[in-house]
Structure 1
C-alpha cells in the first residue's frame, strides 16, 4: 500500500472504530495493580490526555475514558528517561474474550518497527565485514537473486538503499496470513508465487533516486542477511541483537512460540478479536517482531548510547551516525529522522489488529514506546503528548493548544501543489482557512496551529512548513514525510463567493 492510500486506510480504521460498540466494555476493568508499578508519571498519563487542538475551557480526560471512546482494548507504554528505562506499564485487556489484563510483559506485534531491529542487525553485519553497505545486494544473495533491471537498476540495488527505502523496489507492505494456513517462504514472497498473497518484488522506480516505502525491499534484506550470516534470519536477530540487549520477551517468531502466547495481546478490529487472534507475518524483517514496550525501549537505548559516542553497543558510534542520517526525504536506515530541531528518530507500524509507535531523541536518553492491540490510533498521539508534556519534551510532541486564525494572505503563503513520499496534495487558501485535497471528494479544512503549522483532524497528522513555504513535513501522527512544492501551483487561492 502506498502513500495516501495507507493514510486513508488509517482514517477508515478510525471511522470503523466509532461505528461499532466496543466489545471490551463488557470486560471488567482490571485491578490497578495488574498493569504494573505506578508512580507520579504513570498517574499523569492516566489522567491528563488532551488532543493537539483544544477549545477554551477544555479539560484533560482520563486514559480509561479515551480507551472507551476510541475502542482500544489494551495499551502498553514504556518511557526512557536519563538513558534508563524509567517505567513500563500496561492498561486495559489483552483480549476481549479472556479479559486478562495487559501487563509490562504483554507481547504485541511491533509491525513495521521490526525494521529498526532489522537495520541494526544489517549494519552490525556490515561492521563485521559480512556485507557491503554500498555494494550490489546480489553479491550477498545466494538462495535467490533480484531479477536484473537494466533500465531502473543498471548497477543493482544496495543495502543502504534497501534500509532507507530508496532502492526503487515495490510492495509497500503485507497483510499477513491466518494462523494454520500454509506459509510462503521468503523466496516465494519475493517472487509473488503462491501461497504468497502479494505481488513479486521488482524495481518500480530508478534505484537510489527516490524515497518509496518498500516492505518488499526489507524481505530482500531478510534473505541477504540469512545468506551472508549462514543462519536463519530469526536466529541471527536473537544472537546478534535481541539476546545481547536482554530483549527476553521478543522474537522474530511467526507463528509465536507457546512462551510468547502465554502473555500475548490479540489483535482487534471494531472492538472484537480478529479472526484467528492475529495474522502470521512470514515477512519477518519488515513486520514479524513480537515484543514488549520495555524490550523496544532497550533497543532504543542501545541506539541512543551509541549515537552519543559510547562504545560497546550493537553498533559503533560512526555506524549509528550513518543509521540516523537522512538518505532521502527524512529517512535514515531503518528509522525516520527529523529535518530540524534536536536530533530525533522514530518509526510506527500497522499490522492487522495492532498500531504501534516509538520516538526518541538521539543526543539524549529520552523517548517513549506505545503499543496497542486495536482501535483508534489517535490515542497513541494523545499518550505520547501526555508523556512529552510531563517530561518537558516539546520536540517529541507539542503541548495542546487552541486553534489560531490567520489572514487570507497568510494562508495563501502555504497554498499550492505539493508532492512527496507517494502523496499528492493540493492546498487552497480560503477566507475560512487552509483546505487540503488529496484526491478525496471534498477538501478538508485544516486546523491552524501557527503561521506554519497545520493539522488534518481526519488523519491525525500535523504538518509544518519551512520558513519559505517551499515544502512541509509531517511532524506528528506520522513518519516525517516531506512534500515539496511543485513549480506550477494548482489554483492555490479561492476568493470568497
Structure 2
C-alpha cells in the first residue's frame, strides 16, 4: 500500500483534470506526496506540496475532530441537548423533539432530524456579504431560504445535512465566544502544523498565490475562479493533500493513545463506530467494513473541486486525493476512483 500503480498523467488527460495532489499514508506516516498538473489552466503555475485546494465537505471530518477536542476539555457534550448551550439561536421545539432532542452526536452523524432546504448552501456570490450563521439558520438568506427545524424524530433516519453542521458551528462559537475559524486554527490546525490550511478564506482579497482555481469538467476556469462556501464547519476548509493527511494521522495516533491534540482512545473510537440507525455512519465520517479492516472515508465535492479521503485507521494506512476540477460525476466514477482502487 506504499505506492500507486497507475499512469496518473495519462488518466488526468483522459478525464481532463487540470491539477491533482495525492498523499499516501503507510505504517502511520506519510509515505508519498505527488503532485500533477497546474493550479490554474493556461498558466505555468504547477501544483506542488503547498498548492491549496477546496476540501468542501471533508471539512466535516475536521469539524468532528474539533468537537472531540472540545468534549475532552469538558466544553461540549456529545449527548446533551444542544439548546442547553446555544445562545444566539435555538433549535425550534416541535412534535419531533418531544421524545428525542438534537445532540452533537446526531448532528455529526446526519441523524438529527434536520433536512436541508432545496437549492440551499451553494457557493457565495462574490457580490454578496458573508451571511451570519443565525441568518442562515433562520432562513433569512438566499443560501438557506427556509428556517431550519427538525423534520423527523432524531436518530430515526439519515439525511445528509450542511445545516446540521451550521448548528455545530454556531454551538462552538456560542460556547467559546470566538469565531469558528479562530477555534479551529488554535485547537486543530496549529497543533497539527497544518500551516497551508485555513477555514478563513472569505474573499478575493485573501487569495494567496498557492490557492488553486476551480475548473469544470472541460478544464475551463470557473467564472468566479474559486468558490467560497460561507459555512466553514460544513465545507469551508482550504488545504493541501499533505496537510489533510495530518488529520488522518492524528486519528490513527489517537487510537494508539499518542494524540497530539489530547484526544483520548475512547473519543477516537467514538468517531469511527457506527452511530444511531445507520451502521455506515460515524461522526463526521462514513464507515465500511469492521474490526481491523474498518475503512473510513470523507468526500468533498463542490464547484470546481473534487476530493476524497480514505483511511484504514487500525492498519495505519490511507490516501488523500485532491483535484481542482469538477468532473460532474461521483468521485468513484472518475480519476479519484481509479486512484482509490490503485491504492486499495
What TM-score do you get using the length of structure 1 for normalisation? 0.64
Is it true that 1:191 corresponds to 2:142 in the alignment? no
Cα offset for 1:223? 0.2
Indicate which of 309, 312, 327 corresponds to 1:361: 312
**Equivalent residues in 2 for 1:136-285, closer than 5 Å:** 136-152=81-97, 154-171=99-116, 174-255=121-202, 261-269=208-216, 270-285=218-233
Q: What is residue 379 of structure 1 aligned with on the other side?
A: 335
Q: What is the match of residue 296 of structure 2?
A: 345
The alignment partner of 1:345 has SS state of strand
How far, CA to CA, are the matches of 2:34 and 2:98 in structure 1? 47
Aligned counterparts of 1:132 and 1:347: Cα–Cα separation in 2: 23
How many angstroms does 1:178 deviate by? 2.5
Aligned pair in 2 of structure 1 residues 160, 109: CA closer, same or farther (>3 Å)? Answer: same
Q: Check whether the contact 1:166–1:209 (CA below 8 A) recurs between aligned residues.
A: yes
Match of 1:326 in 2: 274
What residue is the counterpart of 1:87 in the other structure? 32
- SS in structure 1 at match of 2:95: coil
**In the aligned structure 2, how far is the partner of 1:318 from the partner of 1:196?**
37
Q: Distance in 2 between matches of 1:238 and 1:130?
A: 17
Structure 2 unpaired stretches of 5+: none
Report 1 or 2 for greater relative contact order, CA contacts < 8 Å, sequence distance ≥ 6.
2
**Alpha-carbon distance between aligned partners in 2 of 1:264 and 1:180, rounded to the nearest angstrom:** 20
Contact 1:153 1:207 in 2 (8 A): no
- Residue 310 of structure 1 corresponds to 258
Task: Give the Cα–Cα distance (whole angstroms) in 2 for the partners of residues 102 and 325 of structure 1.
Answer: 36
- Per-residue CA distance 1:238-276 (angstroms, 9 max, x = gap): 000110000000111132686752111111113211111
CA distance in 2, matches of 1:138, 1:238: 25
For residues 150 and 362 of structure 1, the distance between their equivalents in structure 2, rounded to whole angstroms, comes to 40
Which ranges in structure 1 are unaligned for 5 or more consecutive residues?
1-40, 50-61, 389-396, 398-497
Across the aligned residues of Structure 1 and Structure 2, the Cα RMSD in angstroms comes to: 1.9
Q: How does 1:361-440 map to 2 (within 5 A)?
A: 361-376=312-327, 377=331, 378-386=334-342, 388=343, 397=344
Per-residue CA deviation, residues 380-406 of structure 1 (Å, 9 max, x unaligned), is: 0111222x2xxxxxxxx3xxxxxxxxx
Q: Give distance in 2, aligned partners of 1:359 and 1:352.
A: 21
- Which of 30, 53, 56 is residue 111 of structure 1 equivalent to? 56
Shift of 1:375: 4.2
CA distance in 1, matches of 2:33, 2:147: 40
Q: Does 1:299 align with 2:247?
A: yes
8 A Cα contact 2:96 2:152, kept in partner:
no
3-state SS in 2 of match to 1:346: strand
Alpha-carbon deviation of 1:367? 0.6
Q: 1:323 to 1:256 in 2, by over 3 A?
A: farther
For 2:238 and 2:207, how far apart are their aligned partners in 1?
A: 8
CA displacement, residues 121-161 of structure 1 (integer Å, 9 cap, x when unaligned)? 11111111111211100111111111112335544300100
Aligned residues: 332
Structure 1 position 132 matched with structure 2 position 82: no
Stretch moving more, 181-190 or 193-202: 193-202
Q: Secondary structure at the match of 2:46?
A: coil
Distance 2:202 2:102 in 1: 31
How far residue 313 of structure 1 moved from its aligned partner, in angstroms, is: 3.6
Q: Is contact 1:90-1:102 (8 Å) kept?
A: yes
How far does the alpha carbon of each residue in 1:259-315 deviate from its partner, in whole angstroms, 9 at most, with x for none?
Answer: 752111111113211111122111110100010000110110010111233355441
**Among 13, 16, 27, the residue aligned to 1:71:** 16
Most deviating of 368-377 and 297-306: 368-377
Q: Any idea what SS the aligned residue of 1:273 has? A: coil
CA distance in 2, matches of 1:206, 1:349: 27
Q: TM-score, normalised by structure 2?
A: 0.91
Higher relative strand content: 1
